[in-house]
Amino acid sequence: MTSQSAFDYAKPFDIMVGYWVGTASIYGRKGAYVMSTKSFVSVYWLDEDTLSFRESAEDDPDFQGLPTDYIDPRSAAVGTALASTKPVASDALRVMTYDFTVEGPYCYTNQTDPISVTGRQTHPDAYSFHVKIKKNHHYHHVYNSHHLPTPDDWHILGPIVGRVNREEGEVGLAVAQFFRRISYQVPLQSVRPIK
């Protein structure tokens, strides 16, 4: 792991900044295991009020072969990196990309995108998020509870509700994600603008 940065626990969402690797396990509505997948997450401050989140699945070709160059996720180097990299789609399901506007303990993405997110800090190491995914004129709702029991561990638990099943509002799948911090800095390649 690269050199550790001090967190500003008074600044909501700052504990998430860095480069993470983890797995997501999916369970059916009656608790049966469905599948697991590995992913990488980069979180960095685009500016003082914008937190950028980039999650890529292990099989996404755009994120394979990441360079070993890392940058401080709170520095001006983020802007330089954005100028030299290609955009990623904000609506791709295998690459989840968001720029959150942060207003104190509350954050939100562009609410007109096919995938939109709102979130709030409930404790310095606990957060809740609501992800809305529009598919065929219906919404799937993902409710995530985020816990960071240590600065290097990130646990995300939550159900998917909506048109996953025949009944609107019925809990369909449940997702359990566990991430471990690789670095307090993020790979240069993962700092990418959203289309």
5 within some domain: no
85 within some domain: yes
Domain count, the chain: 1
Give the structural domain span for 164: 14-190
Strands (DSSP E) found in the chain: 18-27, 33-47, 50-57, 70-71, 95-103, 106-108, 115-123, 126-135, 138-150, 153-162, 171-183, 186-187
21 within some domain: yes
């390649």: which residue's tokens? 189
| Highest mean predicted confidence (pLDDT) among 1-15, 64-78, 93-107 | 93-107
8 within some domain: no
pLDDT digits 0-9 by tens, 130-185: 988 877 777 778 899 999 998 899 999 998 886 544 555 566 788 999 999 988 88
Rounded CA-CA distance 13/109 in Å is: 14
Task: Assign 154 to helix, strand or coil.
Answer: strand
Q: Half-sphere exposure of 140 toward its Cβ, with a 13 Å CA cutoff? A: 19
64 within some domain: yes
CA torsion, points 15, 17, 18, 22, in degrees to nearest 10?
Answer: 70
The two three-digit tokens of residue 127, written as one number:
């957060």
User: Looking at residue 13, what is its pLDDT?
Assistant: 93
6 within some domain: no
User: Looking at residue 112, what is its pLDDT?
Assistant: 85
Question: What residues contact 115, with CB distance under 8 A and at least 6 apart?
Answer: 90, 91, 93, 96, 98, 109, 131, 132, 133, 134
3 within some domain: no
76 within some domain: yes
Question: What residues contact 6, with CB distance under 8 A and at least 6 apart?
Answer: none
Query: What is the domain-level CATH number for residue 93?
Result: 2.40.128.20
C-beta atoms surrounding 72 within 10 Å: 17
